[in-house]
Amino acid sequence: MAYSEKVLDHYENPRNVGSFEKGDDSIGTGMVGAPACGDVMKLQIKVGVDGVIEDAKFKTYGCGSAIASSSLITEWVKGKTLDEALAIKNTHIAEELALPPVKIHCSILAEDAIKAAVEDYKKKHDA
Ligand code: FES
Ligand code: FES
């Protein structure tokens, strides 16, 4: 199956790979796995005092579409509020990357990961 150009671009030049230092409470971490294939995605957000996401990082052990989905969503959440980040749907990602139906779950992984990261941040901050 051929990957779309946008998937290949993110796969070959992934944005925001890595993780933030532990013990920083401006960080929210989301770790999710895909039951369909066993892949794992870790996504982190760094939130400023104004409640805006300043930075985001990811580590994904998975296919090209999963890596591209996480790379794209880390770009998208920067500059967004937590609520705006929660409003990102996997369908937006799938559309932007032109994912075929068998790869839709890869974009769901990214949506779930950002939701988990926001939840983790909120838990730390009683928000
Ligand atoms: Fe898991 Fe894509 S099936 S890497
Ligand atoms: Fe399973 Fe992409 S995350 S095939």
Q: State how far the alpha carbon of 99 is from the alpha carbons of 3, 30, 45, 89, 113, in Å.
A: 8, 23, 24, 14, 18
Q: How does pLDDT run across 26-47, given as a tens digit for each residue?
A: 999 999 998 778 899 999 999 9
Do 108 and 90 touch, CB atoms closer than 8 A? yes
Q: Does the pLDDT of residue 127 top 70, yes or no?
A: no
Do 66 and 109 touch, CB atoms closer than 8 A? yes
Domain 5-121 classified CATH 3.40.50.9100? no
If you ran DSSP here, which 8-state letter would residue 63 be given?
-
Q: How confident is the model at residue 101 (pLDDT cuts 50, 70, 90)?
A: very high
Residues in the ligand 2 pocket, defined by CB under 6 Å: 34, 36-37, 39, 62-63, 65-66, 103, 105-106, 109
Please give the model's pTM, rounded to 2 decimal places: 0.92
Domain ranges in the chain? 5-121
Catalytic residue among 8, 34, 37, 63: 37
Q: How far apart are CA 91 and CA 99, in angstroms?
A: 9
Q: How does pLDDT run across 63-85, given as a tens digit for each residue?
A: 999 999 999 999 999 999 999 99
Whether 63 is catalytic: no
Cβ neighbours of 49 (radius 10 Å):
7
